[in-house]
Structure formats: C-alpha cells, structure tokens
Amino acid sequence: MRIVNLIQLALRAIKRNKMRAFLTMLGIIIGVAAVIAMVAIGQGSKQSIQSQLSGMGSNMIVIRPNSNIQGGARLDNTTVQTLTEPDVAALEKDPQYFTAVSPQVSSRGQVINGPNNWTTNIQGVSPDFLKIRSWPLQEGVNFTQQDVKTSAKVCLVGQTIVSNLFPDGSDPIGKMIRFKNIPFKIIGVLSKKGENTFGQDQDDVILAPVTTVQKRILATIYYQTIFASALDEKSTDKAVDEITNVLRASHKLPPGTDDDFTVRSQAELINTFTATSQILTILLAVIAGISLIVGGIGIMNIMYVSVTERTKEIGLRMSIGARGIDILMQFLVEAILISVTGGLIGVAFGIAATKLVTIFLHWPTLVTQASVILSFMVCFITGVFFGYYPALKASKLDPIEALRYE
C-alpha cells in the first residue's frame, strides 16, 4: 500500500475515535510540553549565569597567594604575603598566552567629598585592569603607567560612588575627594557594571594606581591579587600553566613543592556553574522523559486495543491480499501519527508554557531549536517503538482465525 493511502487510513482510524486518540495523545502532549519547558528553563538559567560570569571580564585569570600555615596558625590569603612587584615584572616580561597583567591591593575606608561621605573599597591596580575586567570608562581618562611610577593621587570612581558623593548631579571629573584623609583627584568615571552573580555591587569601588594605595594607604610592598587576561577563551588553560611556571620560577620553588599561590581562570568558574545547571537540565529532562515513556505506553496500550478491535478487519484485509508488511505499516503509521501529532501539540504547549514562566515568574528561559527537534524525534521514535509490537501482533494474525473472530 502506498504511504499516502496509509496516512489516509490512519487519519480515518484516528478520526473515528477522536476522544480516545486525544486521550492517548495527552500523555505525549504533556511529556513533550514538559521536556520543552523544563529544558528551556534549564538552558535559560545556564545562559544567564554564563553571560553574568563573562561580564566579570572575559578570559580573566586571578592569581592569589595561597592560604598558608605559619607557626601553627592558618592564615587567610589576604594576610599571606607572597606576591610582589618582581612577580608582576616576571609575568609581563614575555607572555605567550596572556596579555594584560594587573596587580591589585585593596583597602576599606571612608571617602569624603565636602558634606557627603561613603564607606567603600579603594583598589590599587595598574592601567591594564580596566582591559582585563572589560570595563570601559563612561567619561574622563584612565590613569597611566607614569601615574603608577609616581604614586599619583588620582582615581577612577564607580557609579555608586558618584551617586553617593555627588548627589546633586554635578560632574565629578576634576573634583578632589579624600580617602582616609588622603586627597585624590577624580580623573575618570567607570561605566555601570551592576551586581555580580553573588549580589555584590560592582560599582561601589574606587580605582587608583597600585603604588598609591600600597605606599600612601596600606604601607605594604605586597599584592593581594594579580589579575591577567588570557589571549582568548581557548588559551586560558595554557595561560594558567604558563603563569604557574613563571611564578614558581620567580618564587624559586624547588620541584616537588606546592605552589604558594593559586591561579584560577574564569573558565573554571563558568564550568562549575554550567555543570550545576547542566545537572539541573538533565534532571528536568529525565523527569520529562519519563512522562514521555508513560505517554508511549499509553499509545502501546491503545494500539493493542485497536488491533484486537479490528481483528476481523485485519482478517478481511489479509484475505483480499494485504501482506503482513501492509498490516504492520497500517498500525505503525497510526501509532506514529498519534505520537507525532501529540508531539506537535506538545511543542506548542511547551513554548507557550515557557513564555508564561518568563512573563509571570521572570525566570530566564531559552527554547533551543535542538530541544524542539529532539522532542519531535523522540515522539517519532516513541511512536515506532511502542507502536511496533501491537502492529507486529496484527501482521502475524492468521487470516482464517482473524476472519472468524467475533
């Protein structure tokens, strides 16, 4: 029998039992809608985490002193003093897989502009810091290497600082502010960066030349952190290795000893978060997948009923020349049609449900083409798999017995 006729035949059989076909489809509809919606929610949260993390500075590598045990007391990594200027110099000497390097020290204290004051962080960095964090200036200019050399009292301020110290809306560029009684001239305003993934206000910061903060505020020669930027996302692992080697040489660590510093890339952080949301996605997809299987069993059940009901018809068809394969195809096409129709309706419902989740719960969602195609394929396979045995049973009927069936 031709495929067109088979489809006509299946459509007619479905039409005759509309309610039954719909109830059978319902299992598939719910299953597919659940798969689409759940994967969309999982993908959405994954994507939003990824974009937030990459917003922190693409390809950023963070080097911190290792926590260490000195004289029995375990010291945290801000107290440990291992990263110094020669380390930065060594890193900047001949980098292969990373470009910009910036040391960082920070201090917390009150900043004052006339009658307004605010407690915040001042961070001492090098001019490259803005490049590493991919953080452009909104206005003004960055400080220079010369400012670092001379420990110039200049600074860049974040949006939160601007709004707290200049509530009247006046232009902060060129104004003097005082941090711990040390005057700083504002030469640039940072663009708004918003909260990070952990809810920290990234705009609540003052950036100044690293030496200025080291000498004039902290009176230290050590760095708390060194930032670097890998050439691109692919070379982060190589950059991490390269930095580790350079620092081990710079610290003269003999082979076999532990590093006295930690090198972390954003990729690691991203991987951790993506892995978490990946597990979430898989979990959701598995739950949804189970409902698809239940739907498939529904199809199988109804196809068995259908075959038994139509035993006599099968006998007649066989007696007038239908081959086993014709009967098999007749019932298989019917099962596939039910599951695929259910799948299409399910996709529509799934996308609608996803939209509702975004509108009412403000959850990030992402319906990927892959999830739609995949669930459609799964429906087709469900139809074939669960339709095959009833169809095979039908095709194996003995025409004489089937004709006599009442």
Partner 1 sequence: MNKENSVILDIRNLHREFKMGEETVKALNGVSFTISKGEFVTIMGSSGSGKTTLLNILGCLDKPTSGTYLLDGIDIGKLSKTQLAGYRNRKLGFVFQSYNLLARTSALENVELPLMYNKDFSAKQRKEKALKALEAVGLSQRVHHLPNQLSGGQQQRVAIARALVNDPVMILADEATGNLDTRTSYEIMMLVQELNDVQGKTIVFVTHEPDIASFSKRTITLKDGKIIKDAVNTNVQNAKESLASLPPIDEEITNPVT
Kindly list the residues in this chain that would bind partner 1 in the complex (CB under 8 A): 1-2, 5, 16, 312-313, 315-326, 399-400, 403
Owner of token pair 């799934």: 350
Nearest to 82 by CA among 60, 57, 95, 65: 65
139: left (phi over 0), alpha (psi -120 to 50) or beta: beta
DSSP, collapsed to helix, strand or coil, labels residue 354 as helix
Question: Do the beta carbons of residue 111 and residue 117 sit within 8 Å?
Answer: yes
Measured from the CB atom, is 285 or 318 closer to partner 1? 318
Cβ 307 to partner 1, closest distance in Å? 15
Structure-token pair, residue 368: 């990927």
Closest to partner 1 by CB, 289 vs 399, is 399
Q: Least distance in Å: CB of 320 to partner 1?
A: 4
Q: Which is nearer to partner 1, 340 or 403 (CB)?
A: 403
Give 254 or 321: the residue with its C-beta nearer to partner 1. 321
Query: What's the closest the beta carbon of residue 319 comes to partner 1, in angstroms?
Result: 5
- Least distance between partner 1 and beta carbon 9 (Å): 8
Q: Residue 315 Cβ, how far from partner 1 at the closest point, in Å?
A: 8
Residues whose CB is less than 8 angstroms from the CB of residue 66 and which lie 6 or more positions away in sequence, other chains included: 77, 80, 82, 258, 259, 260, 261, 262
Nearest-angstrom CA–CA distance, 366 and 38: 10
Looking at the chain, the number of H-run helices and the number of E-run strands are 13, 14
Q: Which is nearer to partner 1, 169 or 321 (CB)?
A: 321
Judged by beta carbon, residue 16 or residue 108, the one nearer partner 1 is 16
At its nearest, how many Å lie between partner 1 and the CB of residue 399? Answer: 5
